[in-house]
A and B are shown apart, each in its own frame.
Chain A
Amino acid sequence: MDLQEKIIEKGLLLIAFSSIFILALITFFIFEEGIPLILKVGPKLFLLGEKWIPSKGLFGIFPMIVSSFWVTFGSLLLGIPLGLACTIFLSELIPPSLGTLFRPAIQLLAAIPSVIYGFWGLVVLVPLIRNHLGGPGLSILAGSLVLSFMILPTIITISEDALKALPPSYKAGALALGATHWQTIWRVLIPAARSGIVASIILGMGRAIGETMAMIMILGNAVKMPTSFLDSARTLTTNIGIEMGYASGDHRQALFATGIILFFIIMALNTLAIFLSRRRAH
């Protein structure tokens, strides 16, 4: 019996390491394909080069990094205020009967595939932008808007968790001291839940940077450095997505190298978010 128990324990130990094992595999293979190219082209030229012309061997992903940043920044610009508003609404202002309807609705909206949002953006948003604001319509603006819809449920659910986790004495104390409801929310509760809200924003940012399919549909994928919100652009993810099927040799390795950069950025963001939310738990 003891031997069998020990075997099972060791077996489970092996299984438990599967997630780390898979993570290590992913890291290894992506790096194995990508690092040689970064070394070949030179890290500075790769990261800061402004021309991405694979047929000529030019692999500069700076426009992609800038575009990723712009699209994410734009989505946060819209997502943070709306997300915060929805969170406050859901946790404080909502009549309880509506609440039982809205909270599951938010969870369900989080589960909708991103291609659906991308499709809506393509069919509704892009013509709207083209007809009223100019440009090709396939633009960073469209991408930011659609992306903000995608990250809203993430921000809302995690921030709401953060607000719910506050000790009730905070709210009771503030109200007892004569603060209005709004003052309690704005000056006491939100600042107290600050780290959880920031963690939710960072997780939302991680999701925004990692979004691929919807962005391919509505960003236009031009390789140039974007100069305005109405310009078409290409993020790190869409660069991989749109050229992966066709790439070979150096070109393919360059896409893996793009993947490495993406990987780093998202790992950094996620580690930050984990660190912040763990700190909150203590």
Chain B
Amino acid sequence: MNQDSENFDSLRQLLALKRHEVPPPGYFDRLPRDVMARIKAGDAGNELGAEISWFRRFLNVFDVKPIFAGAFGTAVCAFLISGVITAERTPAFAAGTITPMDPMANVPATGATTADTQFGVSSNTLASDGSLFDNLPSLRTTPVSYFPGAN
């Protein structure tokens, strides 16, 4: 089957009309100037800032080869789906046995009473005593006597 010549002669004659459609006079003199002006304006912008960002270059690749955009989208979807599946299959997480991290869990249980440990606040303390300031040492003030002529 010769598809090029199969009853399409009249149509091809008509399509020849499209070749006679021309832009306004002088258009092809202006176009390169406009393109160059926009490129220069873009270059000036880049000099003020920096080079084209990595993200911009990344998007440029998609313009040239759209298949990369599809591949990238597929990879992101696959990553998300595998993440969700993995999370659902993890038994500890599913059973709810993983508890939120206790910030004081790793504090060594030594008997030393340094200032740091004295004022450390654990969630247990809060739960039992109910007040954040109950464990603070009471402030006692000792009056100071000053007699200038004593010495």
A binds B: no
Question: Chain B: residues with CB nearer than 8 A to chain A?
Answer: none
